Amino acid sequence: MLLNLTKRELTIRYRGSVLGFLWTVLIPLFMAGIYIAFLRLLAGRGVPLAEIIIGVFAWQYTVQCVNSGLHSITGNVNLVKKVAVPRFIMPLAATLANTTNYLLSMLVQIPLVALLLHLQGQALGPWALAFPVVLAVHLMFNLGLALTMAASNVYFRDTEHLVNVGLTAFFFVSPVMYNLTFVERMTPSYPWLMDVYLLNPVAVIFSGYRALMLPDAAFPWTASALVALAACPLMLLAAYVLFQRAQRNFADLL
């Protein structure tokens, strides 16, 4: 059932689309292009293009997991009401489908980052092989969000609108289009800022991707960063417990 649901998520997403899977790659590239073309001109100096590409692709993965998880239960009313299956597998299938898309997008992202590094006389380091480790933490974080959104959307249909606003705010407080150097510039005035900022799991995960792929990027080995990493499996466990308690009333509320 989990395999079939995952395949269906992948099939439905590109049904009727001319470009199909290419949208998984094109949307992050468009976002990066908009930043390069406009925001960098306004800011005067920007973040290296390779860091932007890594951040945008990773962000798109999280956004897709949240949006798919949001509708994973409300979009499968007949399955919830008429088939005796663990409801947990629905947001899980949505997350696995998006993880598959993210892994496929690596076929474009990694060569592109390698090319940009080559143009600067650099190359991907051997630590890039540890990519699955960071991905595993990212997957736990995204699945926790998907489970929470799936349960919340059944009880509160306004969740969808709140999520759109929340993702916009989360985008700006996460290092998608910038790196930790941008935050460090403000630490002389606010010494506590970096410690608080690194409590955001997305900031630590994205910094991990960059540290693995880019020779000039370093992972922030601080207490706050380690707390954020440890919080990801705990958040997943809490989201699973919340979902299991909430799912008892799904059939009555849908």
Query: Comparing 15 with 191, which gets the higher pLDDT?
Result: 191
Over residues 183-224, the pLDDT tens digits come to: 888 888 888 999 999 999 999 999 999 999 998 888 999 999
Q: Which residue, 2, 146, 168, 152, is CA-closest to 65? A: 146
Structure tokens at 166: 């929340």
Give buried/exposed letters for 193-212 (b at 16+ CB in 10 A, else e). ebeebbebbbbbbbbbbbbb
* Residue 14 structural domain: 2-253
CB 56 within 8 A of CB 32: yes
75 confidence band (pLDDT: 50, 70, 90): confident
Structure tokens at 223: 């207490």
13 confidence band (pLDDT: 50, 70, 90): low
Angle at which helices 49-70 and 159-172 cross, to 10°: 170
Q: For the chain, give percent helix, strand, coil, nearest 5.
A: 75, 0, 25
Give the count of domains, the chain.
Answer: 1
37 confidence band (pLDDT: 50, 70, 90): low
Q: How far apart are the first and last CA of the chain?
A: 21
62 pLDDT exceeds 90? yes
Gap between the Cα atoms of 172 and 186, Å rounded:
15
Please state which of the ranges 78-82, 98-102, 135-139, 216-220 shows the lowest mean pLDDT: 78-82
Report the residue count for the chain: 254
Please state which of the ranges 28-32, 176-180, 187-191 shows the lowest mean pLDDT: 28-32
Structure tokens at 82: 């008429």
Over residues 132-159, the pLDDT tens digits come to: 999 999 999 999 999 999 999 999 888 8
Gap between the Cα atoms of 209 and 128, Å rounded:
8
Over residues 234-251, the pLDDT tens digits come to: 999 999 999 999 988 887
Share of the chain above pLDDT 90, in %: 40
Q: Tell me what pLDDT residue 22 has.
A: 67
